Amino acid sequence: MSGILTYALHYENEVNKNSLGAVSEAARLAKEIGGEAHAVVVGEDISDELCQSLGAYGASKVYRAHAPDGLAQPVVDVMAKLISDHGYSYALFGGGLLGFEIGAGLTARLNAGVTMEVTEVKAVAGKLVAVRPILQDSAVVDSGYVSEPGIIIGRLNAFEADASSNGASAQVEDVEVELSEWSTKATMVTRGEQRGAEVNIEDADTLVAGGRGLGKADGFSELCEPLAEALGGAVAATRAVVDAGWYSYSAQIGQTGKTVAPKLYLAAGISGAIQHKVGMQAAENIVAINKDPNAPIFEFSDLGVVGDLNKIIPKLTEAVKAKRGG
Ligand X SMILES: Cc1cc2nc3c(=O)[nH]c(=O)nc-3n(C[C@H](O)[C@H](O)[C@H](O)COP(=O)(O)OP(=O)(O)OC[C@H]3O[C@@H](n4cnc5c(N)ncnc54)[C@H](O)[C@@H]3O)c2cc1C
Q: Nearest residue to ligand X, using CB? A: 254
Q: Which is nearer to ligand X, 197 or 312 (CB)?
A: 312
Closest CA to 264 of 231, 296, 297: 231
Q: Which is nearer to ligand X, 33 or 306 (CB)?
A: 306
Cβ 234 to ligand X, closest distance in Å?
16
Count the Cβ atoms, other than its own, within 10 Å of residue 324: 10
Q: Which is nearer to ligand X, 95 or 149 (CB)?
A: 95
- CA Rg, the chain, in Å? 21
SS3 213: helix
Cβ 152 to ligand X, closest distance in Å?
22
Cβ 214 to ligand X, closest distance in Å?
8
Q: Which is nearer to ligand X, 76 or 270 (CB)?
A: 270
Taking phi first (over 0 means left), then psi (-120 to 50 degrees means alpha), and beta for anything else, what does residue 258 get? beta
Cβ 92 to ligand X, closest distance in Å?
24
Taking phi first (over 0 means left), then psi (-120 to 50 degrees means alpha), and beta for anything else, what does residue 282 get? alpha
Cβ 139 to ligand X, closest distance in Å?
15
CA dihedral 156, 243, 217, 224 (to 10 degrees): -20
Which residues form the interface with ligand X (CB under 6 A)? Answer: 136, 211-213, 238-241, 252-257, 269-271, 273, 275-276, 279, 289-292, 295, 308-310
Q: Which is nearer to ligand X, 227 or 289 (CB)?
A: 289
Count the Cβ atoms, other than its own, within 10 Å of residue 135: 8
